[in-house]
Amino acid sequence: MTIPVSDCELRDPRQKRTRRLLQDALRKLLQEKPFEAILVQDITGAATLNRATFYDHYPDKFALFEAMVGGEFLELLKKRNIRFDGTCSSAIEAIVLAVCDYLKEIHTNEKQCANQGVFGPMLDSALIRAIRIVVLEGLPKRAGRVGVSHHVVASTVSWALYGATREWFYSARQHRTAEIASFVASIVVPVIEAAVGKGQGAFSRARRQTDTGSEQNAKPS
Amino acid sequence: MTIPVSDCELRDPRQKRTRRLLQDALRKLLQEKPFEAILVQDITGAATLNRATFYDHYPDKFALFEAMVGGEFLELLKKRNIRFDGTCSSAIEAIVLAVCDYLKEIHTNEKQCANQGVFGPMLDSALIRAIRIVVLEGLPKRAGRVGVSHHVVASTVSWALYGATREWFYSARQHRTAEIASFVASIVVPVIEAAVGKGQGAFSRARRQTDTGSEQNAKPS
DNA sequence: CATCATCCGTCGATTAGACGACAGTTGTTG
DNA sequence: CAACAACTGTCGTCTAATCGACGGATGATG
């Protein structure tokens, strides 16, 4: 319990419930106050948890936010049966669309502005991490160019994908998500091909939904 | 923890949360299945709790149901600032109206029929107990006739009030609640006057909302 | 009838959450 | 500057929730 492991699948149902309560509480509070104005004790109060218990799961409220956003986004991908197993641009487009939809939803629910305060950067960081996880899961299936770590490739792809998507999304083109997706894919696919080789892999929409845990959890410490 | 006390105000937040989770789970399940078809493990599953934990709080699912209904009803009274401090018929009418509204809500949300199975009798029993609590809280403020226990008076009043209300409510007069309330009050008020003396007390709508705990909890064991 | 399955209610041992207190940090106020 | 208030992050102790297992009750099936 004193170990804030980053484990994705927690064994003890009390821990799952606690993290769910904390994330639900933060989600609710974000509809009322800006992130900066939310205290740890506000979160634990709304979650009907003790303040000390918070620190058994997350080092600070930033980690909780990241876990919440990452978890929500990966859940969205799971619902849409989006999974990585290659480099096909259709899967890239699906991820981009998911990012656009998630950003749209965030900015209608939360009364936060992405262009001021810590909210925007934190959101970016959390989403990039989540995208990186998805990309990393798909990469090891293909042999990459020697000397290029999968981690580096995954990071590059996730940053490029999100950076391009974000730029388009916030440039008053929120309504033309299909156009964004197609453009971003045309930029990102070459990045992947350059790193892992061309014409071998393919992104694809997953055929069947399997019981793959996709919860996003606390930082390792 | 091995003591399933009937305490209304639990000290440990874990216990409050646990009982809230159990009641929320039962409420949700009642919208899907009849009460008889709901297992204890269904409830604890939906509540993300261990089955053994259920028995630390309630002796069986009937007790949980009673606590849930009682708690909901007392909460409704609290929201409407209804409190007992005498025998005025306006407060009687307010309680009757609350009963009617609660019954109406129950039968729109839960897909249970009050005329078959154990649901109806359990609902009756739970509501009478809740009404009895409210009545009992108001009675001791007046000196009653010697030899007549407040508990007996409270029981008599609560059964009479609920019995009359229930009879009218289920006789296809659900839409004329004001009429029901006025009639029931005319029957019940004499009962009270006969027991505690006439013309002394008065029911009244409470002036201000105070922080009186009103949670309904497990049976004493 | 015996067998099997399901659910109930209970128990002891383990683990996570509650609690109160603590020092450290920040910002305000006189 | 000192004093104060508010919030953070941590620690040790106590307690409630989890887990697995148990026997007993019930009902369906051969």
Count of alpha carbons within 13 Å of B129, Cβ hemisphere only?
Answer: 21
pLDDT in tens, B33-53: 999 999 999 999 999 999 999
Contacts A49 to B, Cβ<8 Å: 13
* Residue B155: predicted pLDDT: 94
Angle B177-196/B89-109 helices, nearest 10 degrees?
130
Task: Provide the terminal-to-terminal Cα distance of chain A, rounded to the nearest Å.
Answer: 13
Contact of A212 with chain B, judged by CB distance below 8 Å, is answered with no
Count of alpha carbons within 13 Å of A115, Cβ hemisphere only?
Answer: 5
- C-alpha span between A64 and A73 (Å, rounded): 14
Contacts B13 to A, Cβ<8 Å: 48-50
Ranges of residues in chain A whose predicted pLDDT is under 50: 199-221
B15 touches strand D (CB under 7 A): yes
- C-alpha span between B198 and B190 (Å, rounded): 8
Question: Whole-number Å distance, CA A151 to C1' C16?
Answer: 34
List the single residue in B with minimal CA-CA distance to A21: B17
Using the CA of A51, give the nucleotide whose C1' is nearest.
Answer: C18
Is the Cβ–Cβ distance between B120 and B94 less than 8 Å?
no
- C-alpha span between B75 and B59 (Å, rounded): 23
B56 touches strand D (CB under 7 A): yes
Which bases of strand D have any atom within 7 Å of the beta carbon of a protein residue?
7-12, 15-21
A17 to B48: CB separation less than 8 angstroms, yes or no: yes
Provide the residue-wise pLDDT of chain B in tens; the chain has 221 residues.
655 566 567 789 999 999 999 999 999 999 999 999 999 999 999 999 999 999 999 999 999 999 999 999 999 999 999 988 766 788 999 999 999 999 999 998 887 777 667 899 999 999 999 999 999 888 766 566 667 788 998 999 999 999 999 999 998 777 789 989 999 999 999 888 887 766 444 343 333 333 333 444 444 43
Location of structure tokens 């105070």:
B210
Indicate the length of chain B as a whole number: 221
The pTM of the whole model exceeds 0.75: yes
What is the phi/psi pair of residue A68, to 5°?
-65, -50
Location of structure tokens 């008020």:
B189
